[in-house]
Every structure is written in C-alpha cells, then in structure tokens.
Chain A
Amino acid sequence: MGESKSQKSVEVNAENFSECCSCSCKNIKTILAKYGSDRVRLMDILIDIQTNVGCISKESVKEIAENLNISKVDVEQTLSFYHFFSEKPTGKYAIYLNDSAVANMMGRSDIAKALEEEVGCKFGSVTEDCQIGLFDTACIGMNDQEPSAIINQRVFTNLTKEKVKLIVNGIKNNFDVNDIQIEGYCQATHKLITSNVCSNIKKEGPILTKDMKVGDALKKVILMDPNDVIELVKQSNLRGRGGAGFPTGMKWQFCRAFKDEKHYIFCNADEGEPGTFKDRVILTERPELLFEGMAIAGYSIGSDEGILYLRYEYKYLQNYLEDVLSTLREQNLLGKDIGGKAGLNFDIRIQFGGGAYVCGEESALIESAEGKRGEPRDRPPFPVEKGYLQKPTVVNNVETLCAVTKIIHQGPKWYRSLGTLDSTGSKVMSISGDCDNPGIYEIEWGFTVNDILEMVGAKDVQAVQVGGPSGSCIASNEFKRKLAYEDLATGGSMIIIGKHRDLIKDIVMNFTDFFIEESCGSCVPCRAMTVQFKNKLEKIYRGNGVQEDIDQMLEWGKVMKMNRCGLGHTAANPILTTLKNFRELYTAKLQKTDYVSEFNLEEAVQESCAAAGRIPNLGGDHE
C-alpha cells in the first residue's frame, strides 16, 4: 500500500533535517546502562531516547543493537511498530493532535488549521528550524474534553483557536511546555500531574467513592489462604472489565494452578479503544485502590512482581503514579515483608507502551512488555500458562483490579447486591459525544441506554456507539436495552451521535481508518480486508455503489472471524453494525442499476487535457 500523503511530507522535511537538525542521543550509554542492557527492556530504552531527543536515529539503532546483542533490523522492528517512536526527527516540540471521531465532531479541523497557520508547517511534517512538528494521533483518551493534543507528554484539552495561539506563542518563546499557563483550565488533582486534564466525574459508585482506608483490604488478605481469597473473588461473580468479561476468580485460579518459579500480574492500562477514558480517571483519582488490587492478585496467584502497562498517551501521570507507589512502599504495603509478614514480597513497576491500540490485547501487551512488536500470540497456550517471559501471567483491567479491592473489603455478598444477577457490581462508563454532560458515570449494571441518555442530557440522538469502534452502533429501537453481560455488554464507553451528524462519514469512516492503522498486519483478512472495506465504503459514499456492493460487504464480514485476535474479529463492526441498524443511510446512496463503473474517464483525463490544452475526446459523437 502506498504511503499516505502526510507521511511523505515528513520525509521531505526530514531530508532538509539531516543538514540542520541533529538528533543524536548523547545519553544513550546511560540509558542502556539504566536498563542493564536487557533486550526485554527495549521499549523503555526506545521511550527514553525518543523523549530525550525526539527521534531514534540510525546511529542510535546501531548502538542499541550492539549493546543488546541483537540485529539492527530487530531494533527497527520494534521501533517502527509504535506510533510515538520515530526514525526521523519530530521537532523539539512534537504536537500530536487527536484525530478520533469525537475530536472531529468537536471541531478538530479548525484547530488543525489554526495550528498549521500558527506553527507554519503542515501536519505530518516539522518546521524548517526543527523546532515544532505536527502529527495526527488516534484517540488519546480525552473524548470528554476534545479537541485535545499532546505536546511533549503534556496534554492540552478543550483547545480553541485562542489557546492554540497562546500555546504556540509559548513554544516559540522556548518555554518548557509545563510552564505554559492557560487560564480557565481545571486544576490538576495532584501537584505532580502537570496536565490540566479534568476528571469530570459525574456519578460516583463503589470504585470512585473514597470510603476505605488504603491497605485495609490487603492487610485482611495476607492473613488468609490465597485459595480462600480466590474463592471470595469467585463468589462475587466479578467479570473482567477490559471487554471480554472473563470471570476474574477463575482466571486467577488457572494461573495459580500452573506451577512455576515465577508468576506475573499485569494491569492492563492501555485503554486504546476510542471513546474510553475511565481508566485514566481511575488512575488519577484512585491509584491506591488499583495498586492494592494488584497486590491482592499477586498474593492470590503467588506472584511477587506486578507490572502496570500504561499507554504512552498517559505519560503525564508517570511522576504522580511513581510517587503513589513510593508512598505505598513507605507504608509497607508494597516491597518486602508486606504488612509485617516475613517473606511476603510484592512490588510494581510501570511499563509504558509506545502508541499501539493492539497492545491492549493481552498477549500483544505481553509481547510489547518484552520489548517486541505488539503482535498478539497464537492461543493456546494462554497467558495464564505461558505469559510474560513464558511464565504464568494474569492480565487484568484497571477497573477489575479496583473492584477486587472493594470486594475484599466489603465482601462478595455486598458486591452481588449491586447490579444484576449475571452482571454484578458497578461499571465505570466513559460518556462522550453529543450530550450536555460528558464525563465519567459509575453506574450499576442494568441501567438502560435510555437511562444513561437522560442522565447525561442527550437530545436528538441518532445513534449510540456502545463499547467503542469494536463494539456496536445502535439506533433508538435498542435504547431500551440494558447494559449487562447478558444483554448489551460493554467495555465501558458510549459515544452519543446527534441527528445532525453524517454517520457514515463522521463515524464509520473514521473508525475504519482507525482499524487499518492499528492492525498489527499479521493476519491476511485483518491486514488486507480492512483496506478493501474502506475502498468499498468510499465507493458507496461517492454515489458509485450498487446493491451488490452491500451484499459483498456482508459476505466479507464473515471472513473477519478468521483473524487471530479481537482486533481483526471486530475491525469490520463499524460497517457491519451500521449496515444492520442504519441500512437506509447506505441504500440512499446507491445507484438503482446493477452496475456502475468505478472509473470516470472524463475525470481521469481532465488534468492531462488541461495541460495539453485539449478538449477530452471520450469516444461518443465527434464534433
């Protein structure tokens, strides 16, 4: 497939770059030493170099390869997989403007234009003085405060043309991004959080309410037999909140049953599903609850090492979360001899990603944490048997692990009293799009879509995207359905789409592009069919489609089930669920004949005729 236009302009600029911009990393030896020249820590090494100098040059690749004793192409393999790593300089200030569907709904194109004007270069390129780069990026988890951008790890939300002026002005005056002051931004939760991101909590439930003392649940657990802890989690009927809904207690039991010298517990904070931002808010407001949950999980499965896999977009939380971890260590809730129990050790480190949605898939996440490209593994074996470094590993979502802490603290019976019979407890929902009060709502399972629409002040709703692009786009006839595993299951997000939107263009096309960009590229249908879908969609949208095109797409949809992982399984869902629920939008664009040529001869020869000063002769009647 050809390179996209925007990428070409990076390259054009990068050519000039080699003369005027250097991106050699002088600290590379220190960085390599910091990670013990361990091949497994390649992600950390690349992240440190990228954040240090804004790119990872050929020389750096060479030095890394020699130091880690791997081939250069192996380093390039990892480097080229992740969105935020770049072989070409990205500028002293790299501006990544969110390109998600909701960002576009909230006026992204005006902000993009303003940025290009103020900065003086196009998206996908860097200014000639190598100072500022402009890039697109997939959903950064700020859907309730779009348009937003990340600049050198700081997130700027609710962008307006005026704010763009202020920011670019600050940059041009060589300010540190963290020193750029903008009025009217909400106050950060903690002084170590430098971004003014709002948590926007609109409704609190068991997880978001601060009603327990940090460590109480863990102290209770360490007096129990690990099997009994697992039993409690099983009794609560807790199911994974990362989307798949696997029973948490059972997962732990499986993992514990695989005897090995080491077990690992991962917290999945990749949160790449566009429209989802609940884990960001939990991490900001309740990190202790999460870390305690990880320690409880560690105790239960017999693990002394936990890893929080955090998406690169949330790097602005790093110092804050590290600080929380050290406080927990001081309180003896992490580290050695936890709670005074001799020999009970458990600690947590943070592993950042590099910008790849597929790394939210648990086996891809593990591959990534091992320093490789984030390609999902074949299953079996499952991670509970052979996970991180081939050791038994549990991967759980942020919210799942928080729920565990509360379940231990207040008992499974209490937890079962919330929600429905099959879906116990609460669900933290990310709500965004066309409504008065976007933000975070922690509800009990069993609320209907209508309940939520009313709660968030949504009027004139055309469609609701439940569970992000990989979920489904539903119409009003389904708004009475209940959010529950047994009815309308969701990983935790709803995007509300008003009647005034062009559903196919604003939503379906954006999501389809997202999957093309984010596929790991391994499976044939996931890599190639997504592109065919897009071309077909564009053909119909242009008005060149016929009924057969729709029939074909429905057939192609079935083939997507052949893919290896959930990304491929769901990559056609934006098209398939709108074909199911909004068929009239497609049929309205169809030609009423059996065949229309995709090729327009008149259009095709226009340019050359203009150049030659001729009138096109299209066969037909001669003049």
Chain B
Amino acid sequence: MNKIKIRINDIVCRGEKGQTVLEIAKDNGIYIPTLCNYEGIKPQGSCRICTCMIGGRMMTACTTPALDGMDIVTNSDELEKFRATIVELLFAEGNHFCPTCERSGNCELQALGYRYKMMVPQFPYSFAAKDIDADNPKIMIDHNRCILCKRCIRRKKEKDNPNWFVFKKRGAKVQINIDHELTADFTDKLAQQAMDTCPVGAIIRKEKGFDVPIGERKYDKNPIGSDIEGLKE
C-alpha cells in the first residue's frame, strides 16, 4: 500500500509514500511558493519560503516527507505575511535592478514580488558593494543578484564529480564561489543549464540574451504559481 491521504488546507489530498508535502500539494493543485527548490534536484530548505504548518509545527514543505494522515496549512495569513517578508528581505539584501536584468520576466524572485504585491520592501536597501565574476568564458556570476539558494551547487552535487559551485564564508558574508579551472571548458549546453537552474539573474550566459523580448516572458504572461493553481478548475 503506497497510497497515502493527507489534509491540506482542509482539503483531502492523495499522494504516494515517499513524496514530499510540496509534491503532493502541487499534484493536487495547491501552489506553495518556493525559491530554492528545483524539480529534479534534491531539496534543501534554505530559502524557507515554502514553510507551512505541518502537524502544528513550522516545517518546509520541500523537505518534509508526507506521512499518511498529516494535517497541513499552507496559506494562513501569517504564513503569507512571512513569505512576503522573505521576498522583501532578499530584495533589500541584494541589488536587484530589474529593468536592466536579462532575467526580468523570467525571474522567480521578481515574480514572487508581484505575487505579494510588494511596492517597496519594508527594509532599507543595503546597497552592499558586490562583485560580478566574469572570469568564466561562458557565464557571469552576478553576486548582486544571487539569492544564495544553492540550486547551482546542488544541481552539480547529484553526480559524483568535484563541485564546480560552492558556498564561501558564512553568515551575512556568504557567497557563491565558482571553480574557474574546472569550468574553463564549459560547453554552451552546460552554461545554459547553469543559467536555467538559477531562479534569478545571477548566472547569465555571455554573448547571448534577449531571445524572448521583455513583455513576452514566462511570468509576464502568467503569474507565478498559476500553472499549478490553474489545475483546480
């Protein structure tokens, strides 16, 4: 018997043993916002935005395995407010100048900013001096835009070879660090893969861009989560 039943926002949802709460919610048309999660790579709850009340406790939906009979709340006013706060924290922590960013319209952070109707963050911008690492022939790492979700790190980690991307330092000083020697012969395909993995415009391919004009990009047309929430009908 691998089938399980859980309750999400008072709706009975069916799924299979081994699925996470996030996966079952998605299959049942319930959208839980995520940033550090990426389909196909091992989840690691670092952005915390998918935090839900699971059995009365705050837990991340992306990392919590669903157990038969679980009771989950994903959308209370308080949780939604917390999520909005996380989005605002990220905007204040980095330097996100959307109009000049190649990722605008395809960016998950920007899309969540719209979802939470953020006009201006409640936090003062840090305007921190951050670098752009352009040493790689194929990609640029723009630390101004990096939200430290670790997707690039984890995508690589699935395989057994050495890590290309890692974290450096800790706390508020933490940043993404790329191994320039190992990535020196990056193919176009790998460069595209790295860019696609990034939720924001922190990994950008060189000499390539604006294939899809602004206004016609993913979230320009449909707000984030609408694909999942649309399933309801």
Residues in chain A within 8 A of chain B (CB atoms): 1-3, 65, 69-74, 76-77, 80-81, 356, 358, 373, 375, 378, 380, 516-525, 527-532, 535, 552, 556, 558-559, 561-564, 598
Q: Is the CB of B172 within 8 A of A519?
A: yes
Mark the stretch among B69-77, B162-170, B196-204, B211-219 that contacts chain A: B162-170
Q: Is the CB of B171 within 8 A of A520?
A: yes
Interface centre among A81, A378, A380 (most CB of B within 10 A): A378
Q: Is the CB of A378 within 8 A of B44?
A: yes
Name the one of A72, A380, A520, A552 contacting B170, with C-beta atoms under 8 angstroms. Answer: A520
Q: Is the CB of B60 within 8 A of A378?
A: yes
Q: Is the CB of B82 within 8 A of A562?
A: yes
CA A254 to CA B166, docked complex, whole Å: 34
How many contacting A-B pairs (Cβ < 8 A)? 135
Residues of B within 8 A of A375 (CB): 167
Interface centre among B123, B147, B166, B181 (most CB of A within 10 A): B166
CA A587 to CA B158, docked complex, whole Å: 52
Name the one of B163, B170, B172 contacting A73, with C-beta atoms under 8 angstroms. Answer: B163
CA A375 to CA B179, docked complex, whole Å: 21
Residues of B within 8 A of A528 (CB): 89-90, 92-93, 172
8 Å CB contacts to A: which residues of B163-213? Answer: 163-174, 177-179, 181-182
Name the one of B85, B128, B163 contacting A556, with C-beta atoms under 8 angstroms. Answer: B85
Mark the stretch among B6-14, B46-54, B222-230 that contacts chain A: B46-54
- Interface status of B58 (Cβ within 8 A of chain A): yes
Residues of B within 8 A of A525 (CB): 48, 85-86, 89
CA A2 to CA B174, docked complex, whole Å: 11
Name the one of B44, B129, B172 contacting A527, with C-beta atoms under 8 angstroms. Answer: B172
Q: Is the CB of A1 within 8 A of B89?
A: no
Residues of B within 8 A of A73 (CB): 163-166, 168, 177-179
Q: Is the CB of B172 within 8 A of A72?
A: no
- Interface status of B29 (Cβ within 8 A of chain A): no
8 Å CB contacts to A: which residues of B143-173? Answer: 147-148, 150, 162-173
Q: Is the CB of B162 within 8 A of A69?
A: yes
- Interface status of B137 (Cβ within 8 A of chain A): no
Chain B nearest CB: distance from A542 CB in Å?
14
Q: Is the CB of B92 within 8 A of A516?
A: no
Q: Is the CB of B172 within 8 A of A532?
A: no
Q: Is the CB of B177 within 8 A of A76?
A: yes
Residues in chain B within 8 A of chain A (CB atoms): 43-49, 51, 58, 60, 63-65, 78, 82, 85-86, 89-90, 92-93, 122-124, 126, 128-129, 147-148, 150, 162-174, 177-179, 181-182
Q: Is the CB of A74 within 8 A of B86?
A: no
Residues of A within 8 A of B165 (CB): 73
CA A76 to CA B124, docked complex, whole Å: 32
CA A358 to CA B49, docked complex, whole Å: 22
Q: Is the CB of B168 within 8 A of A70?
A: no
> Given A521-B173, A564-B45, A70 and B163 touching (CB < 8 A)?
yes
Interface centre among B86, B124, B171 (most CB of A within 10 A): B171
CA A524 to CA B182, docked complex, whole Å: 29
Chain A nearest CB: distance from B112 CB in Å?
12
Residues of B within 8 A of A552 (CB): 122
**What are 24 residue pairs bridging A and B, where the CB atoms are less than 8 Å apart in the complex?**
A1-B128, A2-B129, A71-B166, A74-B162, A76-B166, A77-B166, A77-B167, A77-B168, A77-B177, A80-B169, A373-B167, A373-B170, A378-B63, A523-B46, A524-B46, A524-B48, A524-B89, A524-B90, A524-B147, A525-B48, A532-B92, A556-B85, A563-B48, A564-B60
Q: Whose C-beta in chain B lies nearest to the C-beta of A531?
A: B172
CA A562 to CA B169, docked complex, whole Å: 22
Q: Across chains A and B, which 5 residue pairs bring their CB atoms closest together, nearest first? A: A521-B174, A71-B162, A77-B166, A378-B63, A73-B179
Residues of A within 8 A of B46 (CB): 522-524, 564
Q: Is the CB of A71 within 8 A of B163?
A: yes
CA A532 to CA B91, docked complex, whole Å: 13
Q: Is the CB of B171 within 8 A of A517?
A: yes
Residues of A within 8 A of B162 (CB): 65, 69-71, 74
Residues of A within 8 A of B178 (CB): 73
CA A69 to CA B124, docked complex, whole Å: 44
Interface centre among A77, A517, A518, A535 (most CB of B within 10 A): A77
Chain A nearest CB: distance from B96 CB in Å?
13
Q: Is the CB of B171 within 8 A of A516?
A: yes
Q: Whose C-beta in chain A lies nearest to the C-beta of B149?
A: A524
Q: Is the CB of B166 within 8 A of A516?
A: no
Q: Is the CB of A516 within 8 A of B85?
A: no
Q: Is the CB of A558 within 8 A of B173?
A: no
> Given A72-B181, A380-B65, A562 and B48 touching (CB < 8 A)?
yes
> Given A1-B128, A378-B45, A561-B58, A74 and B163 touching (CB < 8 A)?
yes
CA A356 to CA B63, docked complex, whole Å: 25
CA A530 to CA B182, docked complex, whole Å: 35
CA A81 to CA B174, docked complex, whole Å: 9
CA A559 to CA B81, docked complex, whole Å: 9
Chain B nearest CB: distance from A359 CB in Å?
11
Known contacts A73-B164, A598-B124; 14 further A-B pairs (Cβ under 8 A): A1-B173, A3-B173, A71-B162, A73-B165, A519-B171, A522-B148, A524-B147, A528-B90, A531-B93, A531-B172, A552-B122, A558-B82, A561-B58, A562-B58
Interface centre among A69, A70, A517, A522 (most CB of B within 10 A): A522
Residues of B within 8 A of A598 (CB): 124
Residues of A within 8 A of B169 (CB): 80-81, 521
Q: Is the CB of B128 within 8 A of A2?
A: yes
Chain B nearest CB: distance from A40 CB in Å?
16
Residues of A within 8 A of B82 (CB): 558-559, 562
Residues of B within 8 A of A523 (CB): 45-48
> Given A81-B169, A521-B167, A562 and B177 touching (CB < 8 A)?
no
Q: Is the CB of A1 within 8 A of B126?
A: yes
CA A522 to CA B166, docked complex, whole Å: 12
Residues of B within 8 A of A80 (CB): 168-170
CA A3 to CA B168, docked complex, whole Å: 14
Residues of A within 8 A of B48 (CB): 523-525, 562-564
Q: Whose C-beta in chain A lies nearest to the C-beta of B93?
A: A528
Q: Whose C-beta in chain A lies nearest to the C-beta of B35?
A: A524
Residues of A within 8 A of B86 (CB): 524-525, 559, 562
Chain A nearest CB: distance from B43 CB in Å?
8
Q: Is the CB of B171 within 8 A of A559?
A: no
Residues of A within 8 A of B93 (CB): 1, 527-528, 531
Q: Whose C-beta in chain B lies nearest to the C-beta of A373?
A: B167
Q: Whose C-beta in chain B lies nearest to the C-beta of A532?
A: B123
CA A561 to CA B56, docked complex, whole Å: 13
CA A67 to CA B78, docked complex, whole Å: 50
Q: Is the CB of A529 within 8 A of B166?
A: no
CA A370 to CA B64, docked complex, whole Å: 24
Chain A nearest CB: distance from B8 CB in Å?
19
Q: Whose C-beta in chain A lies nearest to the C-beta of B58?
A: A561
Residues of A within 8 A of B43 (CB): 378
Q: Is the CB of B89 within 8 A of A519?
A: no
Residues of A within 8 A of B129 (CB): 2
Residues of B within 8 A of A535 (CB): 124
Residues of A within 8 A of B171 (CB): 516-521, 527, 530
> Given A73-B166, A74-B166, A527 and B64 touching (CB < 8 A)?
no
CA A112 to CA B92, docked complex, whole Å: 35
Chain A nearest CB: distance from B63 CB in Å?
4
CA A3 to CA B174, docked complex, whole Å: 11
CA A521 to CA B48, docked complex, whole Å: 12
CA A552 to CA B167, docked complex, whole Å: 31
CA A520 to CA B150, docked complex, whole Å: 13
